[in-house]
């Protein structure tokens, strides 16, 4: 599962740009949050390091990344996800 999450993040990192500038540097800083976002993780409260990394990512970069990630299932010809 961790490999799937890492592959998805890597794919999004390659595809994401905001105002012609890459979000890669900011998004790669979120690697420190990995242990908090994997389903079934023991740790539920993010570390100060994770929170700082998240705060450093421009909101437009995060929104574009989420938009791109949400389109991946359709582009991969798999059923659309419905998360609640």
> 4-52, pLDDT tens digit by residue?
555 555 555 555 444 445 688 888 899 999 888 888 878 778 999 999 9
CA distance 60 to 19: 9
pLDDT, residue 47, reads: 94
Over residues 59-71, mean pLDDT:
89
CA distance 22 to 76: 24
The span from the first CA to the last CA of the chain, in angstroms, equals: 20
Phi, psi values for residue 18, rounded to 5° = -130, 125
pLDDT, residue 84, reads: 72
pLDDT, residue 19, reads: 46
How far, in Å, are 63, 65, 79, 83 from residue 73 at the CA level?
Answer: 17, 14, 6, 13
pLDDT, residue 16, reads: 47
């Amino acid at each position: 599962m961790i490999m799937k999450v890492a592959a998805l993040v890597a794919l999004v990192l390659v595809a994401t740009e905001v105002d012609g500038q890459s979000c890669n540097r900011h998004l790669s800083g979120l690697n420190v949050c990995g242990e908090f976002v994997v389903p079934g993780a023991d740790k539920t409260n993010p570390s100060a390091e994770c929170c700082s990394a998240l705060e450093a990512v421009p909101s437009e970069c995060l929104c574009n990344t989420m938009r791109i990630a949400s389109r991946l299932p359709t582009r991969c010809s798999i059923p659309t996800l419905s998360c609640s």
